[in-house]
Amino acid sequence: MNQPQRNASNDPLAGDILQWLSTTEYACSSLSRLEGGILNYVYRGALLRPLSDGTATVIIKHAEERMPGLEGYILSTMRNHFEAEMIRGLPPAVSDYRTKGVEVVVPKAYLVDIPAIVNTQVFEDFQSQLTLRDNILSRAHEVEQSTELAMRLGSALGSWVRCLHIWGAQDSCPGKSCGGKLLEKHSVQESSFDFYYGNPLQKLAAFPDILGGCEDMFLQIKQQAAADVALWPSKEGFGMIHGDLSTKNILIQAEAELRMQKPRLVIIDWELAQLNSQLRDIAQLLADLFLLQYFESAELAVSVMKGFLQGSCCSQPEELASLSVHVGLHLLLFDITLPGPYQTGRINHLVSLARDLIVAGWERDHQKLQLNEFWALLRTV
């Protein structure tokens, strides 16, 4: 991951991790703290001895219940254990996916539950990589040259998500047994559920003129979602999902490598993987890309959106109506997804757009959906 980093020499946690790793094959000479992590403390470690395949660096993730990027929000440290379980349980068809000249891969989980330290895991590192978000923003002035590649990347991501969801809906899916453990322990699954469906209710206080009158609908959506989760595993359209599929959690080669190699996308940060509506993954990435276009005028994001929706094969009217509800819910998380500052007028317009998506989707008003700015941009509904 080619992310901004800072020296961790004065970081007590980094010192503890170095000490704990010293008795494993992943002993490191130094750690560099990676910037941008919201849920975890993330480091790149320089190995004292390369692995048998020549690997010289690893990614180390440490979890605490109180997260560095979300003040006041608590999430069980079980998320990191579950992430490693999920990654190790993925079939090759998902963890090493290839389509139309694009690779979509998942990092290997090298070391889980390091002896003598809780909630620290070691993962495969991908050097010279940018987040998909940074890649899109860096190409803001190359729309004509990059549109075809953006469509191809989006299509590959869409077909990969479809592959993940087909596997995740199977009764034999190993991740389902992991998900069952999550449900029984009422930890990550419940916290993520409350955060996702509770956020619109919190936004009521911040935007009373726009969201006033929506409280009953928001409560109904949350109650229906809880009822749907309770019907697992018989509920159609439910299964294992990534749970945090954003442009910050997808890596791609830096420009120099991308010119010499076939595109490779790396899907990271699986700690919020859970049993839920599989439309949530699709909606989150669509909403995240839309925000890049809306706030940052990143037109390439629209090309990725179009390819992604096409590749995911989400096209039936009822399916798109339900998807619209989830897109609207994700757009209301704009202050976490793509924090500003932004002009008040633009924020208010976005909240109105999200409200209209949720209302029209919930009421199955396909005519209003056709006129919504979000779908008009894609010309798909």
Catalytic residues: 244
d(CA 120, CA 77): 10
E strands of 112-217, at which residues? Answer: 120-124, 129-131
The one-character DSSP state at 293 is H
Q: Residue type for 228, please?
A: D
**For 333, phi and psi rounded to 5 degrees?**
-95, 20
The one-character DSSP state at 247 is G
The length of the chain, given as a count of residues: 381
The residue whose two tokens read 């077909």 is 159
- Alpha-carbon radius of gyration of the chain: 20
CB 246 within 8 A of CB 257: no
Whole-number Cα distances in Å, 190 to 104, 193, 274, 302, 343: 29, 5, 10, 32, 34
**For 117, phi and psi rounded to 5 degrees?**
-135, 135
Query: What are the tokens at 81?
Result: 């254990």
CB 107 within 8 A of CB 59: yes
The residue whose two tokens read 């999920």 is 86
CB 5 within 8 A of CB 33: yes
The one-character DSSP state at 33 is E
d(CA 99, CA 155): 9
